[in-house]
Copies of this chain bind each other. A is one copy, B any other.
Amino acid sequence: MENYSAQIQKALKGRGMKTGDVIGVQREKDYYEGVLMPRFEAGDPDCIVIKLQNGYNIGIEFTKGSKLKKLARPKAPLQELDLGKYRPEDGKKNIAILHTGGTIASRIDYETGGVKSSVSPEEILLSVPEIASIANIRTKMIFQMSSEDIEASHWSLLAEKIFEEVSRGADGIIVTHGTDTMHYTSAALSFMLQNLPVPVLLVGSQRSSDRGSSDAAMNLLCAMHFLAKTDFSGVGICMHGSPDDDFCYVHEGTQVRKMHTTRRDTFRSINTLPLAKVTKEGYVEYLRGYRKRGEAPFTLKNRFEEKISLVKIYPGFDYKILEMLGKEKYRGIVLEGTGLGHAPINVTDEMTKDHAKLLSAIKRLTDGGMLILMASQCPYGIVNMNVYAPARILQQAGVMPAEMTAECAYVKMGWALGNAKDELEAGKLLKENVAGEIPERIESRAFLY
Contact = CB atoms under 8 A, between A and B. Distances in A.
A283 interface: no
A382 interface: yes
A261 B148 contact: no
Contacts of A258: 338-339, 377-378
A179 B388 CA distance: 13
A311 interface: yes
A114 B392 contact: yes
A45 interface: no
Interface in A136-156: 143-155
A391 B178 CA distance: 15
A20 interface: no
A386 interface: yes
B349 A145 contact: yes
A54 interface: no
Contact of A262 (B184, B348, B442): B442
Given A109-B389, A148-B339, A389-B114, A184 B384 contact: no
Contacts of A389: 109, 112, 114-116
Interface string A78-97: 00000000000000000000
Interface stretch (A190-198, A231-239, A245-253, A317-325): A317-325
A149 B317 CA distance: 10
Nearest to A448: B448
Contact of A342 (B148, B314, B316, B347): B148
Contact of A321 (B316, B324, B378, B387): B324
B117 A314 contact: no
Contacts of A262: 340, 381, 384, 442
Nearest to A410: B314
A314 B324 contact: no
Interface in A253-283: 257-263, 266, 268
Contact of A348 (B146, B312, B343): B146
A340 B388 CA distance: 36
Given A311-B312, A448-B268, A344 B149 contact: yes
B316 A306 contact: yes
Copies in the assembly, this chain:
2
A390 B261 contact: no
A151 to B, nearest CB: 4
A76 interface: no
A376 interface: yes
Contacts of A146: 342, 347-348, 388, 390
A314 B407 contact: yes
A362 to B, nearest CB: 14
Contacts of A314: 184, 309-310, 407, 410
A338 B379 contact: no
A111 to B, nearest CB: 10
Contact of A338 (B181, B309, B328): B181
Contacts of A148: 313, 315, 337-339, 342-344, 390
Nearest to A442: B262
A355 interface: yes
Contacts of A343: 148
A216 to B, nearest CB: 16
A260 B378 contact: yes
B386 A348 contact: no
A84 to B, nearest CB: 25
Contact of A379 (B259, B309, B337): B259
A32 interface: no
Interface in A325-346: 325, 328, 336-346
Given A151-B352, A261-B339, 8 more contacts: A113-B386, A114-B386, A148-B342, A243-B444, A262-B340, A266-B378, A266-B381, A311-B312
Interface of A: 40, 101, 109, 112-117, 143-155, 179-181, 184, 243, 257-263, 266, 268, 306, 308-316, 318, 320-321, 324-325, 328, 336-349, 351-352, 355, 376-384, 386-392, 407, 410, 414, 442, 444, 447-449
